[in-house]
Amino acid sequence: MGMELKNMVALVSRTGRHLQRYNKGHRQVVGCIPYRYRNDSQTSLEDEEDLEVLVISSQRKGKGMLFPKGGWESDESITDAALREAVEEAGVSGVIECALGKWNFKGQSHDASKEGYIFPLLVKEQLYFWPEKDIRQRIWMSVSEAKKVCQHWWMKEALDELVCRLRSPQRHVVKELEGCFVKYDNDTFLGVEDKTVVLKKCGPSVGYDTAATSRRDAMLAGLAGTGGPYRVGGSGDIQGVAQCVGDLSVSECQDCMSEAIERLKSDCGTANYGDMFLSKCYARYSTSGAHIYSKPPDGHDASSDHDEAEKTFAIIIGLLSGVALFIIFITFLRRVSRENGK
């Protein structure tokens, strides 16, 4: 392994919780699993023994080892928080990859619930000096060794997920059908906020019409300001719909919808219809039934088709949300059973 130790001094660790993020009273915690291959040229995993992960000692003596983690603060993105914790606690940096999942667990006081996210970190640099060098040890070890010494059950589950992911080729599929959107992936995405654009469609431009653009923007603003995971609105000949998947919190849904709607306005401009699919939400508008889905045969009612498409979309998303909630519930029962068995 040709990992180079960088002789540099990093910034001091952040302290205090005045910027700490919370979700429904749950403190949000972000961490990472720093990893590397024993062979520098390796890019995928065949044998678990070819992988090494970096664990650090707890600040509380005798409490075992763990992966870098800490509070997610309001002035940083979730990936920035994961990278910061890696530098502060373990003195490493590198490439942050897609989240391994979200876990709910009890804190040290056993009465404060936390919401934890874990990301893989493919390590590219090791620092010789780092903020918590004097209070923590860091040790590269095999996966099996890390499972033995790690003090947190949820971090062990995240490590299992990492090994499974690295053993399998990265595959994902997204598919837009008429009035709905389907996705599967071998990465965990349930409960993880993601505003990545996965599909965008804009109709032909109808030229700049101040009045029409104002009506559209007012309708979209109404969608953004309405509560709930499923929203419809209209202004004259302009209709709109927006929806989130069922595993987002209220604030995450609002954040995702606002992003999708702003992108619709900026990316589709003067188009007579627009679709914007982000990874966890969807927004759409149509002018005078001009949407690509609204091409009825002669004598057919276009507005009826539009309404039916929206109802069908709502039913499908509802079913997908139900499946997602069922999977989350089964996972929760499994974790509770594991905790009771400890």
Whether 113 is covered by a domain: the verdict is yes
Q: For residue 76, what are the CA distances in angstroms to 25, 64, 249, 320?
A: 19, 29, 19, 31
Percentage of the chain exceeding pLDDT 70: 73
Mean pLDDT of 78-87: 92
CATH (domain of 92)? 3.90.79.10
In a domain, 194, yes or no: yes
C-alpha 224: how far from chain center: 21
**Confidence label for 89 from pLDDT (cuts 50, 70 and 90):** very high
Kindly report which listed range (76-90, 117-131, 136-150, 191-205) carries the lowest average pLDDT score: 191-205
Residue 309 lies in a domain: yes
Strands (E), the chain: 5-6, 22-23, 26-37, 51-57, 65-66, 69-71, 92-96, 101-106, 113-127, 138-142, 172-177, 180-185, 197-202, 230-235, 238-244, 273-278, 281-287
Nearest residue to 141 via CA among 57, 265, 264, 249 = 57
pLDDT band at 166 (very low <50, low <70, confident <90, very high): confident
Average pLDDT for residues 207-225, to the nearest whole number? 84
Q: Examine the domain organization and report whether 185 and 241 are in the same domain.
A: yes
Q: Which amino acid is at 167?
A: R
- The total of structural domains in the chain comes to 2
> Which residues lie below 8 Å from residue 130, measured CB to CB, with a gap of 6+?
10, 87, 88, 89, 90, 91
Statement to judge: residues 164 and 177 lie in one domain: no
Residues 130, 221: one domain? Answer: no
Residues 48 and 150 in one domain: yes
Does 177 share its domain with 161? no
H-only helix segments in 193-301? 210-225, 250-268
Q: Is residue 337 part of a domain?
A: no
340 found inside a domain: no
Q: Which of 169, 200, 234 is the last residue of a domain?
A: 169
Q: Which of 169, 197, 225 delimits the end of a domain?
A: 169
Q: Note whether 117 and 192 are within 8 A (CB).
A: yes
pLDDT of res. 298: 45
Is the pLDDT at 224 greater than 80? The verdict is yes
Q: Do 143 and 256 sit in the same domain of this protein? A: no
pLDDT per position as a tens digit, 270-326 = 888 888 888 888 898 888 765 544 444 344 444 444 455 555 555 666 666 666 677
77 and 89 fall within a common domain: yes
The answer to whether residue 66 is domain-embedded is yes
Any domain includes 112: yes
Do 156 and 78 reside in the same domain of the chain?
yes
Residues 146 and 35 in one domain: yes
Residue 33: the pLDDT is: 97
Output Rg (C-alpha) for the chain, integer angstroms: 24
pLDDT > 90: percent of the chain: 25
Claim to verify: residue 191 and residue 121 sit in the same structural domain: no
Close Cβ partners of 17 (under 8 Å, ≥ 6 residues apart): 71
In a domain, 333, yes or no: no
Pair 28, 131 in one domain: yes
Q: What's 289's domain CATH number?
A: 3.30.430.20
Residues 65 and 104 sit within 8 Å (Cβ to Cβ): no
Pair of tokens at residue 228: 């709930």
Which residue range forms the structural domain that includes residue 272?
A: 172-327
State the Cα–Cα distance between residues 150 and 67, nearest whole angstrom: 8
Q: Are residues 120 and 183 in the same domain?
A: no
Q: Residues with Cβ < 8 Å from 324, sequence gap 6 or more?
A: 190, 245, 246, 247
Last residue of a domain, one of 136, 169, 202: 169
